[in-house]
Structure 1
């Protein structure tokens, strides 16, 4: 009688990786699909008043490409913009006023709250000040949008119509990030892909679902909901403020919707790997709740899911292990297939899809670097400010 061939450790590991990919493909909210766009909507008979709050710190380089588009919103109801200058040193406030004079459109108020007190991030302190200014106008909705976001002329109109029609407390769109440089093409679509994998958009919009997230660049928030959820006070120390906002709204019974945007674009450039590295690493360890055990599990998970398939394929071919190469190749093929829709959304060549393991390896290194920087006291650094862990801020308070 012939003996049953022994299955190598490499093949077993590749089999586990393939099983993980089949689960992600079918059971993780179909995260890889890119068809979650603004839900069906009808225009209301009477358009509610809206106030737009734009926190801005040293944004003079991007304001000429973003603020005029925001002021040019074709909104049938009453709307105005509040740009809150968060201690800029590059003339952001003066440029904003000049752009408003030059382009006109929606009324613009520019103000500054001063330096944030202990326990607050600068952005959320600016948002708090902007919401305070807006509250005097009695808006039904607040649009929280970043200074680097360029909105199509009908953006506000569609957001409000979607919120009214679907009864949403939050309608958020993941702005299309800039993809022009070589590193942007390699890293940016993967950033959105990984975000959707962590927070499947379909689950977020489902009533009663626990998954909660928003995209901070474009968040339409019902003013009454913001007051009830104590936003932003309840999340004042959050580095990943958009996810924290969505969780606070859902915790209070609110209904949140998040999807991909077609005509809401970020104009901020990330031309080099260093720029993208800083963007990811500043908040990656905060995403893991500053927990070294969660970090270790994340590193192992990334390695198993993204690195094992190509390594198993190559090792199987080199060692004459057909089971390892077949299982690794199958896992890599499923991975590649799930990435194709995101590349199409970003209008990028499909030959980038098989390179996802390399991009995932970069993200793994960025995550580890984020933890190292936090241990050195330089974590969550952004535009001249460094924020400690939330528990450290609580101890200071």
Structure 2
């Protein structure tokens, strides 16, 4: 291939990829897939179903004072209880949770469980979820099996009406799973660079409109906030059927949809993460610990991903700076698709043209994830490493 042909073909291929992503990838770049702000009073049930809120927690004493009170203060009109599963914490997470529950007149009752170390083949989080679900099914609220399970992480704070809106959406639309992508914290410079792009890339991989279409094969969930019918969990064999999953939220969504359940995934209003990422290192670890697992630990898929990321995100600015109109057009389309996510996070729009820089960082994180995997240190989280 001549230099002239190469110079013309590469940016044109990148532009073609962006035209496809703009129109053919489920409008992933739009941020309008959300729960209704207020449930319709006409759709509210006479008797609200019971809910067990399951919170797996491992060394979460730093964030628990900011998140747990929001669950204890839910104004849910039905019966609800909170099951915090202390997954071998060494920082007093379980005792702190009990103290927080004693501070005020709250609605849902709190129970702290301690299941011990996970059995072989289980990830710590899913081991904790297993014991929470078992407790919810054995006793549940008011001595009966809970109708719904809310799986939420220990760093997630909920608006007072969060549980009511989630259950209302599940009942109104007859959904088996309702999941919201929690709004992550964006305060530092590195968080501004990494976090909105994290959600943008997730939506590109799992377009919400495709996830929410019963006939589509695409399925996913966001692990920070998953409302699940107990019956749907039983039909899907959860969590035993996904016990070794590193990317447990996506795997859970797939399991529910494959078992015939109807699922919904969208961006959150009133569901936020309070976990701080004070520098590049914790953000890098957040991405790299599961990036290679997303590629099924396959070197060939990794190679294809690196080439694809380079073509889609790195070629446009490089060729645009070299004077290529196609490269400039591709960079423009890329920039415009990132603007809605920046607006959702309330970030300055001048960050949009810098998306290629962030993509280069994600590419490096993905390669590092593969390197750590082959060194036996992949998928490491709070003192545990999973294959």
Q: State the SS of the aligned residue for 1:237.
A: coil
Hey, what does 1:315 align to over in structure 2? 322
Among 186, 194, 204, the alignment partner of 1:187 is 194
- 1:44: how far off? 1.8
Among 267, 281, 285, the alignment partner of 1:278 is 285
Matched, 1:383 2:385: no
Hey, what does 2:360 align to over in structure 1? 361
Hey, what does 1:57 align to over in structure 2? 58
Q: State the SS of the aligned residue for 2:52.
A: strand
Question: Structure 2: how far apart are the matches of 1:167 and 1:233?
Answer: 25
Query: 1:184-225, CA deviations, whole angstroms, 9 ceiling, x for partnerless residues?
Result: 000000000000000000111111110000000000000001
Query: 1:221-267, CA deviations, whole angstroms, 9 ceiling, x for partnerless residues?
Result: 00001011110000000010000000000111111100000110000
Hey, what does 1:128 align to over in structure 2? 130
Query: 1:78-131, CA deviations, whole angstroms, 9 ceiling, x for partnerless residues?
Result: 000000000000000000000000134110000110000110000000000011
- 1:43: how far off? 1.8
Equivalent positions of 1:34-53 (< 5 A) are: 34-38=31-35, 42-53=43-54
Hey, what does 1:395 align to over in structure 2? none
Kindly indicate whether the alpha-carbon contact (under 8 Å) linking 1:68 and 1:103 is maintained by their aligned counterparts in 2. no
Hey, what does 2:312 align to over in structure 1? 305
Hey, what does 2:10 align to over in structure 1? 13
Matched, 1:147 2:149: no
Query: 1:252-284, CA deviations, whole angstroms, 9 ceiling, x for partnerless residues?
Result: 111110000011000001110001000000000
Equivalent positions of 1:85-104 (< 5 A) are: 85-104=86-105
Question: Structure 1: how far apart are the matches of 2:164 and 2:8?
Answer: 54
Q: State the SS of the aligned residue for 1:102.
A: coil
- What is the number of equivalent residue pairs in this alignment? 376
Hey, what does 2:111 align to over in structure 1? 109
Q: State the SS of the aligned residue for 2:322.
A: helix
Q: State the SS of the aligned residue for 1:55.
A: strand
- 1:371: how far off? 0.2
Hey, what does 1:340 align to over in structure 2? 339
Q: State the SS of the aligned residue for 1:263.
A: strand
Hey, what does 2:81 align to over in structure 1? 80
Unaligned runs of 5+ in 1: 1-5, 317-324, 389-397
Question: Structure 2: how far apart are the matches of 1:51 and 1:44?
Answer: 18
Question: Structure 2: how far apart are the matches of 1:64 and 1:217?
Answer: 17
Question: Structure 2: how far apart are the matches of 1:25 and 1:33?
Answer: 10
Question: Structure 2: how far apart are the matches of 1:345 and 1:310?
Answer: 25
Kindly indicate whether the alpha-carbon contact (under 8 Å) linking 1:11 and 1:312 is maintained by their aligned counterparts in 2. no
Equivalent positions of 1:197-346 (< 5 A) are: 197-316=204-323, 325-346=324-345
Question: Structure 2: how far apart are the matches of 1:184 and 1:291?
Answer: 29
Kindly indicate whether the alpha-carbon contact (under 8 Å) linking 1:75 and 1:157 is maintained by their aligned counterparts in 2. yes
Question: Structure 2: how far apart are the matches of 1:104 and 1:369?
Answer: 48
Question: Structure 2: how far apart are the matches of 1:330 and 1:245?
Answer: 38
Matched, 1:28 2:36: no
Query: 1:47-86, CA deviations, whole angstroms, 9 ceiling, x for partnerless residues?
Result: 0000000000000000000000011000000000000000
Question: Structure 1: how far apart are the matches of 2:299 and 2:104?
Answer: 50
Question: Structure 2: how far apart are the matches of 1:45 and 1:355?
Answer: 51
Kindly indicate whether the alpha-carbon contact (under 8 Å) linking 1:213 and 1:247 is maintained by their aligned counterparts in 2. yes
- 1:314: how far off? 1.5
Question: Structure 1: how far apart are the matches of 2:186 and 2:311?
Answer: 28
- 1:7: how far off? 4.5
Q: How high is the TM-score relative to the length of structure 1?
A: 0.93
Query: 1:145-164, CA deviations, whole angstroms, 9 ceiling, x for partnerless residues?
Result: 00000000000000000000
Question: Structure 1: how far apart are the matches of 2:117 and 2:155?
Answer: 21
Question: Structure 1: how far apart are the matches of 2:195 and 2:320?
Answer: 26
Question: Structure 2: how far apart are the matches of 1:266 and 1:103?
Answer: 23
